[in-house]
Amino acid sequence: MAKAEKLEFQTEVSQLLKLMINSVYSEKEVFVRELVSNASDACDKLRYLATTKEKLLQSDPDLKIKIEINKKDNLVTIVDNGIGMNKKDLVSNLGTIARSGTAQFIKEATETKDLSLIGQFGVGFYSAFMVASDLKVVTRKAGESKLWIWKSDGESNFTIEESDDLDQLNSNRGTKIILTITKENKEFLDKIRIEEIIRKYSDHISIPIFVQNSGDKEEEKPEAINSALALWTRPKNKITKDQYKEFYNHVGQMFDDPWMTSHYKAEGQIEYTVLNFIPSTKPFDLYDPARENRLKLYVKKVFITDNCPELIPPYLRFLRGVIDSEDLPLNISREMLQNNPVVKKIRNALVKRTINDLKKKLAADRASFEQFWVNFGPVIKEGIYEDFEKKDNLLEIALFKNSNSTKLITLDEYIETMDKKQMDIYFITGDSYDNIINNPSLEGYKSRGINVLILDDPVDSFWTSSTPSFNEKNIKSITKGIDDLDNLGKKKKDEKEKKEDKSIEPLIVLLKEKLKDKVKDVRTSSRLTESPVCLVADESSMDPQLEKILQQHNQLQQGISLKILELNPDHKLIKKLAKMSKDKSSIGDIENIAILLYEQSMILDGEKPSDPVNFSKKLIDTISASIN
């Protein structure tokens, strides 16, 4: 036997192990579920490989999971004859956690002592340390000759050694996990207790699970504890709510209740079965840049892959569940899945069905749908930008914050409340609701009772840039171009007001000259009622928030475009500045105030002053002059 090699756990693993070992978590029984789930996955992977490499299964074709209890030595052993592991697999699977959001998960779990989310990170193996003082893993990968032994007591390191004693596994492949149960957890040395846990959590697993006490005589035809039938193949009326939940927890690696369950069989040109779930909470990897989906693809009940980008678009990546096709070949490779016409048809039908189900839910249970939208709305809005074919369908179920109400509304509901004179759907984008709702650009719309959509998700700047209309109504930003508010309820200006507006022209000329390097133009506006000035984009320019996002990600080929400074001709400060502009001795003061007004508009748009030091100096000088 080769000398054991000692290796250090990844930092996150060490933190997780300390959390497990010192946990006061009450439902420690979940370790059985997690280890059985891992064993089931190992068998599924082998069954898939055997579709192209039949020899892997020939010597031991009956896949199974066996749990043996040794009360005398305080041992629980879980054995599967699945794909097994080699040294590289042991290091990557049992020594590291390479998942986005893991550190945040560990932080939250440490603070709350809630370990119920462990499986969501593929770290269910470590749950064994809640009940065991040390673990030993004996494994041999299918098709390979070497047997490996992994050991750890849950501290900072683990060992791996190669062994010549192939009898330790009693099989030419698979994995055996041996747990030394601590005194405080001897309840798990009871066969009846283990069987109870399996029936509770793992009945849906399609691999038969057997439990026996050490020393018991082997039965000729032992009876599996679980039903060993793929849940999605059973009739809906034969499946309980609890069974659906346990399957969802298993297949989705989620530990909440499913928000929605969709189980149906499609028949016709192609046949496939769907059992999908929408979570009631956000998965930790929802915003992982990879945007991978977690649907498992089966062919005739044989697991193929859990990473098939062609099966569902990224904007529905929160779905968890199973798609089982009757028409794909069993030996299909991941490369062959690309551009496969059967997969394409399944994808189109699945997207259509999911959107229709959400539309029904919106109509039937608005409160529940609104909670769903809070969790997954920003992700679905990615589809409005990316999926031209389904854009209108997604817009129909989208909910939006707005300036007239604290309630979320649909676009149809927005249109229903529009005044007859209003032809467009108005929106404003930004990085937070509180900042947007106080933006000066909204003032003219608020004063006229015109509703404006408040779009504070980063994706909003993208889909609005590629979505000019909805139901024959233009979708228009209120921070771009010339406003049309004079046509939406304000009385026409009388001769006196028109004369007052002309008196501002010298001020406009002065501001254009002083701010020529900072703004594209200076003009009066109906957009403002309370604030003296605001910045807006030119009609042909990019949405300001989109421009800001692209700049932050270094994706803007040229610098930020110059904005237009709009003045409120009715504001007392603008009127005063207009009078001062006729006095040459006041020009210097006006120029200082002009800079302050420009910088203040930048701040209200969520930007920093272009020159904070100069801005601060001018502000102090102006305040000092006003006191004198």
Q: How does pLDDT run across 458-472, given as a tens digit for each residue?
A: 999 999 999 999 999
Residue 100 reports pLDDT greater than 70: no
- Find out whether 511 and 566 touch, Cβ atoms under 8 Å: no
Higher per-residue confidence, 105 vs 621: 621
What's the confidence (pLDDT) of residue 549? 77
CA distance 376 to 397: 12
pLDDT-wise least confident of 141-145, 261-265, 306-310, 450-454:
306-310
CA distance 165 to 1: 8
Mean predicted confidence (pLDDT) in 18-39: 77
* CA atoms within a 13 Å half-sphere pointing along the CA-CB vector of 438: 9
Residue 551 reports pLDDT greater than 90: no
Structure tokens at 229: 């039938």
- pLDDT cut 90: percent of the chain above it: 47
Q: Which ranges of 168-324 does DSSP label H, i.e. alpha helix?
A: 191-201, 241-252
pLDDT-wise least confident of 232-241, 280-289, 604-613:
604-613
Largest CA distance in the chain: 108
Mean per-residue pLDDT over the chain, rounded: 86
- pLDDT cut 70: percent of the chain above it: 90
pLDDT digit string, tens, across residues 249-308? 888 888 889 999 999 999 888 999 999 999 999 988 899 888 999 899 988 887 788 888
Tell me the pLDDT band of 131, cut-offs 50, 70 and 90: very high
Residue 121 reports pLDDT greater than 50: no
Does residue 170 come out as left (phi exceeding 0), alpha (psi in the -120 to 50 range) or beta? left
- Find out whether 222 and 78 touch, Cβ atoms under 8 Å: no
Residue 60 reports pLDDT greater than 80: yes
Domains along the chain? 5-213 (3.30.565.10), 231-369 (3.30.230.80), 391-487 (3.40.50.11260), 495-627 (1.20.120.790)
CA distance 459 to 439: 20
Q: In a 10 Å sphere around its CB, with 0-12 CB exposed, 13-18 middle and 19+ buried, how is residue 608 labelled?
A: exposed
pLDDT-wise least confident of 378-387, 466-475, 604-613:
604-613
Asked whether the whole model's pTM tops 0.85, one would answer no
Tell me the pLDDT band of 123, cut-offs 50, 70 and 90: low
pLDDT digit string, tens, across residues 328-341? 887 677 778 888 89
Mean predicted confidence (pLDDT) in 563-585: 88
Q: In 3-state terms, what secondary structure has residue 474?
A: strand
Closest CA to 594 of 518, 540, 505: 518
